[in-house]
Every structure is written in structure tokens, then in C-alpha cells.
Structure 1
């Protein structure tokens, strides 16, 4: 629901938000009562159920009743409250930890393993790899690129939009490009991905909005969770957690696929960096 909400009409959002906030209460309401409760229409309630993947409101209502029972038994996923300005540090730590655990669980549950396998193959066999991202996504892109470099692959993370386009123009079939954008609409990420796609490179998009424009130029789509946002917790904080999980899955998959070359390369990088991290000596 958090991933879909920004792209939904406001009337559908109202129904979905009511359902998410009080599954037990909404499960007791008829379609007419829920429409009245959300100041919408019966058609909007049915439409919301279908957007969420149910044939109709009857099926959604049954699912809500099941979720309510899980919540009562304490077996349902926890939904943390927003961080308040007067929360103690202990409360902040607890809320952030719970929210990030949920982001990881949601991302893992929704990850398309077929697309992930295709992305692993594309990166493992690529002549060179471009990674595009800006802002918080740029940090995730740099993490992916440096990991791939350490196992001997040619990978570069581009945060400058002009350099990203310049590099994308040089790609061809047999290369790969990875775009990281939570919104799926960031122009500085879309433009180089589109160019890479047009040049014949295999394109991968890591995004929290599978229906966003980035999907139009992605051969492989990897969806993340983490759209929960509040005044003191911007979406970039939560989305980064899901993105890093996907990046780690990609890296481990590529390392497994290229183990014969990856293992020696990784050992060599450890050896090269070891002199820069001498052991600490105890001062007596």
C-alpha cells in the first residue's frame, strides 16, 4: 500500500489509508459503510480492493479480518508510529529499527527472483557496467560499483548527469546499466538509462515505483519497499534500506556466478588494503 499510494487517485488513497490504519474496524464494515466512512463511493471501495490485488471487496474484507486476527495474536508485522519531535532517543532507535526491519522484510517478500536472476546474469557477463543514481540513491550506486570492482568487474557509478549520459552513449549490447531511483521519475537517472537501453545494453532498474517511467526503459525491474515518510523521516532514509538489500543480493549473486575469478580478485583487494589498516597496538 505504501508503494502504490503516491500513484493512486486521492479517493482511492482515502480508502486504502483507512484500511491500513484500522483493518479490524474496516473488516466489520459493508462496502456501503466503508464508502460512507471514507467519504467516497461503493465503486471506489471496490476499485481499491482490485488495486490491492483482490477480485472484489468481499475478498479484501476477509483478508482484513485475517490480518486483524494476526494483530490480536501478536503475529502480524508491526507498523511503527511516526517519530515525534519529543521522542526520546530510545524511542527513536526502537522506531527506526522496527521500520527498517519491516522495509527489509517487505522488499525481500516482493522481490522478483526471476528478474533478480536475470540481473545477476547481466552483470556477471557484462563487458562494463554503468550505475546511475542521484542523492541518497547515488550512495547506494557507489556501494554497488565498488563491490563489483572488488571482484574484478569493470563498474562505474555516475552521479554527474552529464558524465552519466556521456558514458551511456558508449554502451552497447553485452554491457549493462543499473538505474537506482526510488521515485522512478528522476530525470537525471532516466535519461542515461534510456540512452543505455537504446544502445542495446541490458538495463536494470531498482525502484520503489514499479509503474513509474523508469520501467519503460528497464529490461529487468527490481522493486523495493520503503515509502514510509514523516516530517523527521524522509523517504530517502527508508528507501535506502531496501535498495541496499537489493544491491547486496545482486553482488552476492554475481560473486557466486563468477566465483573462480571473483574469489582471487577479492583476496587480492584484501591484501592490497591490508597495509593501510595495521592492527592496533595496546598501550601499556
Structure 2
């Protein structure tokens, strides 16, 4: 498993997405890098190998799995990442000093989060996005599965797809999800949201959909997860705040929500006149329920 996303993606983003799927020794290497990036920048491949207790070739393979030619290129990317973070931190601290109120701190935190939102699309590939949109368009039936904190994303997608002229279903009850998923046929699509990629109810619904012959599309944050392994097409959205631990603690779905909105826009564009007519019909309904 290696990096296939945006070549400009930061090393930390690549590691957050790929680390769970790397070989055990390579995972030890990247974990050591993340633990102390400053130290890693100053080390040679041999230095890092001795620190971790692996061979030099393992360090090189780990760097190549992250999408770099070798460890020197990874060191350069780490140095650039640290420099950008330092500049951003200095700017944020200046802002914090200017406004120490709760509102000021809120603005600062949102600003820092927003500055990293671009990372959320760094792991996407043109092939995966095109396949995702085409599958939505061609399917006879669409079932959206999302549980836990991803649940609201599923409901939002269903509403947006229906407004775009693509009828879609969503069930909050896990058992109802499995039953509906099992009834899907080979011309149907099951769209799955799972930030962690490890929700048991979601995985059960995915297996049911596959048993019924449906195509499974997944939006998740980690390349090596049950969700990613079961899906036919995966849109990988690295966690904006960091790795799996941050996913569990902060559980932000902002990046996934943003992706959902733009995917529906792409879907409407893909459908051409049909998409524009569906949007016009939805707007006419909205106009009828609004009051002065």
C-alpha cells in the first residue's frame, strides 16, 4: 500500500492515512517520524533505522510507501511542513494575543482548522471521484449507510441527492440498514460514511450489500480499515486534526460534510440538463413554502 493522492500532500497527512496499512516494521518507522519530526529531519536513513531497530532498507521502503523517492525527499518534505506550521503558529499566536476573549479564541481555532482543510482532498484520485459520481448516476437504487457521528452526514447526503433528482434511501436503525442492504441488487449502490472506518453496524450493512450484489462506495478517513477493505470505490478523506486518536477525541466531520456538498454539485454537473432540471424543480418547491 502506498500513497496515490496529491503529490503536494504533507507528510503527516500521508502518514495519518496510510500508517495503519503499512507493514509492521514500516509502521514503526513512520510512527517514530511523527513522534519527533524535528529529530527525523536531522537524521539519515541509517540513524533512524538504528533508533527504531530496523534495517536501513525498511526506512527507505517506508518513505517510498508515503510516496517519496527515498528518505532524503521525506526529510525535505518534513522540513517544509514544520516551517509552514511554525509560520502559522506565529500568526495564530499574534491573533490570540490581539483578542483573548472566548470569541477571539474561537476565531483563532477555526482559522487554524480551516487552514488545514485543503489536506482533506489530498488523498483523492481522479479515478475514484469519477467512479463515485458515475456509479451514483447509473444505479437503479441508492442506499446510504451511516452510523454514530457520521449519521447526520448520511441524512444530509440523502436530502441533497433527492433534491438533485437522484432518489436515495436512509435508515437510522442498524437492522433496517442490513435488511435494505441485503435487498440491493447488482445494479444498485450502497454509499457508506464512516470517519473511523470501524463502525460495526456500518460494516455489517456493507457485507449485506455485497452479499446482495450491490456496488459499495465508501467515504472514510483511513486507507487501512474495514470500511476501505469492503468497498469497491473509496474516497479517502484524511483527518484534518491528525491521526486515529484525534479522530476518536475530536470527531470532526467538517471535511466529510464539505466533500459531500461538492460531490453532489459534481453529480448535478455530470447529469447536465437532467441535473439542472432537478435543481430547478427543488427550488420551485422551496419557493412555494417560503413566506415573507
Do they fold alike, i.e. is TM over 0.5?
yes
For 1:26 and 1:64, locate their aligned partners in 2 and report how far apart those are by CA, in whole Å: 8
For the aligned residues, what is the CA RMSD? 3.5
Choose from 155, 178, 184 the match for 1:171. 184
Aligned to 1:153: 166
Q: Secondary structure at the match of 2:30?
A: helix
Q: Is 1:274–2:254 an aligned residue pair?
A: no
Normalised TM-score (structure 1): 0.78
**1:80-229 paired onto structure 2 within 5 Å:** 88-102=102-116, 104-226=117-239, 228=241
Tell me if structure 1 keeps the 8 A contact 2:21–2:223: no
Normalised TM-score (structure 2): 0.76
Choose from 22, 30, 47 the match for 1:16. 30
Aligned to 1:256: 269
Unpaired runs of 5+ in structure 1? 81-85, 280-284
Unpaired runs of 5+ in structure 2? 1-14, 94-99
Once the two structures are superposed, what CA deviation does each residue of 1:131-153 show, in whole Å capped at 9, x if it has no partner? 00112211111111100111222
For 1:71 and 1:195, locate their aligned partners in 2 and report how far apart those are by CA, in whole Å: 44
Choose from 40, 54, 57 the match for 2:68. 54
Q: How many residues are paired up? A: 269
For 1:79 and 1:188, locate their aligned partners in 2 and report how far apart those are by CA, in whole Å: 40
Quick one: structure 1 residues 70 and 216, their matched pair in 2 at CA, closer, same or farther if it must change by over 3 Å? Answer: closer
Q: Secondary structure at the match of 2:195?
A: coil
Once the two structures are superposed, what CA deviation does each residue of 1:165-189 show, in whole Å capped at 9, x if it has no partner? 1111221122111011112121211
Q: CA deviation at 1:90?
A: 1.9
Quick one: structure 1 residues 264 and 205, their matched pair in 2 at CA, closer, same or farther if it must change by over 3 Å? Answer: same
For 1:35 and 1:255, locate their aligned partners in 2 and report how far apart those are by CA, in whole Å: 50
Tell me if structure 1 keeps the 8 A contact 2:144–2:158: yes
